Amino acid sequence: MCGIVGYVGNKEAQRILLSGLRRLEYRGYDSAGIITAGRNGETLLREKGKVAELDKKVAESEHNDIIGIGHTRWATHGEPSERNAHPHHVGDIYLVHNGIIENYQDLKEVLADRGYEFASETDTEVFTALIDSIYQAQDKKDLHQAVVDSLQMVIGAYGIAVMAKGNLDEIVVARKGSPLVVGVGEEEVFIASDPSALVGHTDQVVYLRDDEVATCSKDGVHLTDATATKVDTVVEKLELDIQAIQKKGYDHFLLKEIFEQPETLRSTLNGRVLKEQDLLRLGGLNMTDDELREVKNVFIIGCGTAYYAGMLASYFIEQFTDDVVIHNAIASELRYRSFNVPENSVALFVSQSGETADTLACLQEMKRRGVKCLGIVNAVGSSIAREVDGGVYVHVGAEISVASTKAFTSQAVAMLLFGLVIAQAKGMSLKELRPYIAELDILPDEIQSTLNSQNEPIKTLAKKYAHYEHALYVGRDSLFPVALEGALKLKEISYIQSEGYAAGELKHGPIALIDDKFFEMAFVSDNWLYEKTMSNIIEMKARGGHIITVTNSEKAIGTEEVVRVDTKLELLAPLIFNVASQLFAYYVAVERGNDVDQPRNLAKSVTVE
């Protein structure tokens, strides 16, 4: 959460920092700020609201500065306000911080005794004062050492960038549990909490690991561990281009990302599903066939949309395995439960960002217990990707819109591939495998034709339902996770209160909600559960429900509206229903005039628990 940027070099720091913050704004947009320095001293500018507000302030106070750090905030301690915005400034120190310092109250008391006064309610200001108190006590000013010493005293998570008054040469950065990457250019260095801010500046990057501290200067990056002992710097090539982080003519990133799904899915499948050879290959699992054969339990762990993708994948995998038990778990719950892990378990950690704090905490716990841990991750080089024993990158490219869409589709498919690889190792025959390969092969085209045929009708439909304030989403079997995901998508971008339910559960409570303020979205598959789900629809209709049915059946339905999705898929049909549901949520949110890509109160990667 929150975005950090930094720059030291010979160019205009203010403009570079602002453009970096605009790219990172999806990580938090409660307030923003920058501190830059040059021959005329330091300029600190902060503003409540989005980066555009800060931009206006910078325009009034432009400086030709050559070093600086900046931040866009998702509030944890203290309301969104200019006073609580970063960078924080105490004494000689300026600091931007992602994460939470848990012992900040204790530190605040100690620092107050030493005469420090605090202008904000934030843990970050206390952290700034702590570094300043150490810095002031040094005979010879050494910012790197002051940061190292301060880190011995803080408990919590951080990604930080620090500058000192009068020091035009260095920015010191450090991380523990919150990502930071340093881009190295010609006599210049860029700092960011997410590599998308570096695109167009340099493709040479150094990913900081936990407990590392780096001094960044025009000469490059000087890296140490938490005891100030030198660590080798590994420079990697950043595989992200400018196209991937632009809207490419779409009104919103969300719509672009929905429409990218055929292509991003092909990237997920590329080199993994070899139709000609009837072969599935997952290179990064780091598991032998013997190990795969042994698997009896699969834990699938994630949060939000990633959790629902895991749930959907478990319905898929259960179709073709008879000795594998799947345990779906919400990471923020599992980490505080005293759960048992049976023998022969593997754990999958599903995360677009690869940084979700709760998912990461579960990973660390599973590793502590000696469980084989695999990532289903999008962000290459992210914390989860680095800590797992192996896994499957979903390769959907940058997902900028806060609401996750293309990642969901590819996560579910990547986990299906994992299930098939286990089944193959356990003896699934080619004859049994082929129908799944055939479905995977046509899935991207089927998504494309759904997008082509449904975009306009769903846009019109959304206009009709955008004024409702409540919604119920229902489905059975593998359409139940689609109902949950559909309700989540609608609520987070349209702010319509929407709940997902298993259709068979309606009579156990939710049906009492139905009245004229509600509409209902029912997903109905033309399979052995068709009649059962139709009975639920009829029950809702009898109680005055305003029902939209999404179905691949050609039979007469008789609800207020019907969305017909035309698909030859069986196992994977839910992914087609889900695309229709994504379009619906998008157009409802647009119709309501909402900020679709940056919904209120949210942020893209959730690095606080």
Q: Is 305 in the site for ligand F6R (CB under 6 A)?
A: yes
Q: Which residue is nearest to ligand F6R (CB)?
A: 304
Closest CA relative to residue 313, chosen from 250, 371, 268:
268
Q: Which is nearer to ligand F6R, 474 or 585 (CB)?
A: 585
CB of 421 to ligand F6R, least distance (A): 22
Q: Which two tokens stand for residue 75?
A: 């509030």
CB of 362 to ligand F6R, least distance (A): 11
Q: Is 404 in the site for ligand F6R (CB under 6 A)?
A: yes
CB of 121 to ligand F6R, least distance (A): 25
| The binder of ligand F6R chosen from 9, 304, 475, 574 (CB under 6 A) | 304
CB of 605 to ligand F6R, least distance (A): 5
Q: Is 496 in the site for ligand F6R (CB under 6 A)?
A: no
Closest CA relative to residue 352, chosen from 384, 374, 328:
384
Q: Which ranges constitute the DSSP H helices of 388-429?
A: 406-425
Q: Peptide bond before 87: cis, by omega within 30 degrees of 0?
A: yes
Residue keyed to tokens 């590599």: 195
Q: Which is nearer to ligand F6R, 196 or 305 (CB)?
A: 305
The strand pairing partners of 176, in sequence order, are: 158
Q: Which is nearer to ligand F6R, 224 or 351 (CB)?
A: 351
**Region 113-172 residues binding ligand F6R, contact defined as CB under 6 A:** none
Which one of 176, 256, 372, 604 is the catalytic residue? Answer: 604
Cα–Cα distance between 143 and 145 in angstroms, integer?
5
Tell me the site size for ligand F6R, rule CB under 6 A: 16
Edge-to-edge, what's the strand order for the sheet holding 470-475? Answer: 497-502, 470-475, 518-524, 547-551, 561-564
Q: Is 179 in the site for ligand F6R (CB under 6 A)?
A: no
Q: Which is nearer to ligand F6R, 257 or 439 (CB)?
A: 257
Active site residue 426: no
Q: Is 492 in the site for ligand F6R (CB under 6 A)?
A: yes
**Cα dihedral 533, 536, 540, 542 sign:** positive
Cα–Cα distance between 461 and 509 in angstroms, integer?
28
Which one of 2, 303, 362, 373 is the catalytic residue? Answer: 2
Please give the backbone phi and psi of residue 244, each rounded to the nearest 5 degrees, phi first.
-65, -20
DSSP secondary-structure letter at 160?
Answer: E
Cα–Cα distance between 527 and 225 in angstroms, integer?
58
Closest CA relative to residue 416, chosen from 280, 322, 304:
280
Q: Which is nearer to ligand F6R, 32 or 357 (CB)?
A: 357
Q: Which is nearer to ligand F6R, 150 or 264 (CB)?
A: 264
The contact mask relative to ligand F6R for 364-403 (x = CB under 6 A, - = no) is ---------------------------------------x
Cα–Cα distance between 96 and 461 in angstroms, integer?
45
Q: Which is nearer to ligand F6R, 116 or 408 (CB)?
A: 408
**Region 306-365 residues binding ligand F6R, contact defined as CB under 6 A:** 306, 351-353, 356, 359
CB of 359 to ligand F6R, least distance (A): 5
The strand pairing partners of 300, in sequence order, are: 328, 348
Which amino acid makes up residue 343?
Answer: E
- Applying CB under 6 A, which part among 20-28, 232-240, 296-304, 501-509 lies near ligand F6R? 296-304
CB of 404 to ligand F6R, least distance (A): 3
Q: Is 98 in the site for ligand F6R (CB under 6 A)?
A: no
| The binder of ligand F6R chosen from 198, 221, 487, 606 (CB under 6 A) | 606
Q: Which is nearer to ligand F6R, 198 or 403 (CB)?
A: 403
Q: Which is nearer to ligand F6R, 136 or 364 (CB)?
A: 364
Active site residue 216: no
Residue keyed to tokens 């206390």: 126
For the stretch 244-252, contacts whose Cβ atoms lie closer than 8 Å and that sit 24 or more positions apart, written own/partner, are 244/199, 244/397, 244/398, 245/23, 245/196, 245/199, 245/398, 245/400, 251/590, 252/401, 252/586, 252/590, 252/596, 252/597
The contact mask relative to ligand F6R for 430-469 (x = CB under 6 A, - = no) is ----------------------------------------
CB of 350 to ligand F6R, least distance (A): 7
Which amino acid makes up residue 34?
Answer: I
Cα→Cα distances 186→8, 218, 375, 385, 480, Å? 11, 8, 35, 29, 53
CB of 300 to ligand F6R, least distance (A): 13
CB of 593 to ligand F6R, least distance (A): 20
Q: Are 543 and 570 in contact (CB under 8 A)?
A: no
Active site residues: 2, 604
In the complex, the residues that contact ligand F6R under the rule CB under 6 A are: 302-306, 351-353, 356, 359, 403-404, 488, 492, 605-606
